[in-house]
Structure 1
């Protein structure tokens, strides 16, 4: 058996707490029974890394967490997936990033979020040789580093022969695009959602918005569009890939799962369309459960799902 592809994920790592069956926020100090409360490792770096590990990659995480019980839970969940967490620095002065996600019966999922240690991660926190043997670097949340530092990090990965990707965390607006602009020319794959693309560019449709981001420097823009699937745009082509027809439980982490499936496909030489289909199939596994680690899936089962399941 060949060695697993080595991937580094850097940036945002979060502990999500999913609360299923929230019909309303109780008034005063009243309580309410819910169906399920579950914790999962998440974040534009952590969640993507988790799914990449499920899909057969050797994953190393880089970022920052606190020294609190939230960190112990998050690190345990990542280690259980075989992820090397040695690059997650422990910071005593900040709490570990965490979110609480009350999921309503119709699937809506408002969130409470604490940035915590994710805001403390800096480029200097990575050792000079940290990326020397990776095939790919995925940076989740470049807005915390800022464009120049994010661009420098991606350039370090490219200098050792790795490909690179970015996934934004914040809602899209032109100011955010200006903030991370220096990173785009060092980015092989930009992995935003539809709302981010439209907000970043002011475009009226995804294809033209994604093309504007390509013209701003990204090599390829692969956009998630919820039930519509994904749109992949390069300077030469636009590809639309439909989502799979499934019963959705919770869409938390679907974007991270798409990113992981898409990147896994590209790392093994799939075409853009084939990689996007694998990304949609990985996202479907997550949408059918609670969190990126819900259920049991691997690369073979995701491929089999993609072959056997109809699209919308």
Structure 2
């Protein structure tokens, strides 16, 4: 594959234009804030622009600066966005907003459902110290994206209790806006009800002495979504989706929201030119075998997503194909809109599959502390690459680097990778080149029509294979992407 030409093009268009053309036509991409109704919790942002040069292309990109509560309910901005359809937000995280309570325990909870529920109820009898709280769920991806300099919002529901206020405050400190999904009638129902279904969803993250993880939340003990009372997309939610370049949803959204509501949000995104990212996660397997409504929703989401991200095990569970490349091709074949299928291979790296190409990037060697949040961070990097019109191999490289950077810390939320740590890993260039693995994976695909590209620090493949694919030197890729990351100025929001 000739990436010299591909470096200036993206196969996915945003709102009818490639992201590069949008950048060139709009010297200041984010002229204002995303308004949020005064009846909802939200933290709009203000932006300035900075000029970057990447691969010979000079563009103006948004630079996230400070929170601006004085613009909280600006009706002029709201009306302008409604009429103009401007894409003022880079990434919107849809659903799966929760607070993680991370506790060290002598042993993981028991296996039976009843015993686990009793175990969780006992833990919840009194709130643990706040030092054990962390923003979780889709906030992991949003925080990682914000630290890469992208403008982000979270769309979902949290309660008015201490956990909900904590969650929103964490987002605000990271420079991320919050769009509440509940309606005024929902608020009225909440006041007249003692039901816990309006409270922030908690996820108990339990770690035993062997560093094994156990997870439980109230969503695990109900056949219905935690927020089953939520049935419609509000105007604020539609505005947020319409104003975003990308919308990210994962399989855990089904724990909170009805399948039909999730499908409605993603259908609306496709109607208004917002690129849909979907990561089914471990939940994909159970959804594919779940209720008829869940199975139908999963099929629809896979068909309408622009980018599908999943591990090789998850891809196999959905397609019954063990070879990750063939599994990716199967997902592409069955989709209406999908342009990229990205297979995450853990420490081995990642693969990006399109109808005409296969891009492969080995991972980076690091001292792994905790893998929680690595996949979420990876998604943020893919959005970063798409929005900045980067070649596919460059996008995978950043994804692998930010995933590796997150693995060197403990936990997710505010503990996901910092921009500084990502830069360190890219500069160290300690690529996990596994010749046996890549030879075996790619040897069966060399006679196809797809162009195959492999990131490498050295010529690691046999001559038979290396003559049939294009190997891209790591130092060329890092030379291209380091300036973009170095100038992603987020120092006014989060520390490097």
Are 1:308 and 2:428 an aligned pair? yes
After TM superposition, the structure 1 = structure 2 runs for residues 119-130 of structure 1, keeping only pairs within 5 Å, are: 122-125=231-234, 127=236, 128-130=238-240
Aligned match of 2:205: 101
Are 1:8 and 2:92 an aligned pair? yes
Distance 2:173 2:394 in 1: 29
Report if the CA contact (8 A) 2:90-2:244 is conserved. yes
1:19-76 deviation line (CA, Å, top 9, x unaligned): 35x563599x9xxxxxxx7432221x32211111111111111111223322122222
Q: Rg bigger for which structure?
A: 2
Match of 1:228 among 348, 356, 359: 348
Q: Residues 261 and 296 of structure 1: is their aligned pair in 2 closer, same or farther, counting only changes over 3 Å? A: closer
CA shift for structure 1 position 12 = 0.8
After TM superposition, the structure 1 = structure 2 runs for residues 1-312 of structure 1, keeping only pairs within 5 Å, are: 1=50, 2-4=61-63, 6-19=90-103, 22=105, 24-25=107-108, 38-43=132-137, 45-87=138-180, 89=182, 92=190, 93=195, 94=197, 95-104=199-208, 106-115=210-219, 117=226, 122-125=231-234, 127=236, 128-141=238-251, 143=254, 149-169=261-281, 170-172=283-285, 174-175=288-289, 178-217=296-335, 218-289=338-409, 290-294=411-415, 297-298=418-419, 302-312=422-432
Distance 1:208 1:282 in 2: 26
Distance 1:232 1:120 in 2: 38
Q: Residues 86 and 151 of structure 1: is their aligned pair in 2 closer, same or farther, counting only changes over 3 Å? A: closer
Q: Residues 233 and 121 of structure 1: is their aligned pair in 2 closer, same or farther, counting only changes over 3 Å? A: farther
Residue 124 of structure 1 aligns to a residue in which SS?
Answer: coil
Residue 152 of structure 2 aligns to a residue in which SS?
Answer: strand
Distance 2:407 2:227 in 1: 25
Give the unaligned 5+ runs of structure 2: 1-49, 51-60, 64-88, 111-118, 120-130, 220-224, 433-496
Q: TM-score, normalised by structure 1?
A: 0.84
Distance 2:334 2:298 in 1: 11
1:185-216 deviation line (CA, Å, top 9, x unaligned): 32110112232211111112222222211112
| Equivalent residue pairs, number | 304
1:272-310 deviation line (CA, Å, top 9, x unaligned): 221111111111221111214227712x65245224231
Q: Residues 19 and 241 of structure 1: is their aligned pair in 2 closer, same or farther, counting only changes over 3 Å? A: farther
Residue 384 of structure 2 aligns to a residue in which SS?
Answer: helix
Report if the CA contact (8 A) 1:9-1:140 is conserved. no
Q: Residues 296 and 271 of structure 1: is their aligned pair in 2 closer, same or farther, counting only changes over 3 Å? A: closer
Residue 99 of structure 2 aligns to a residue in which SS?
Answer: strand
CA shift for structure 1 position 155 = 3.6
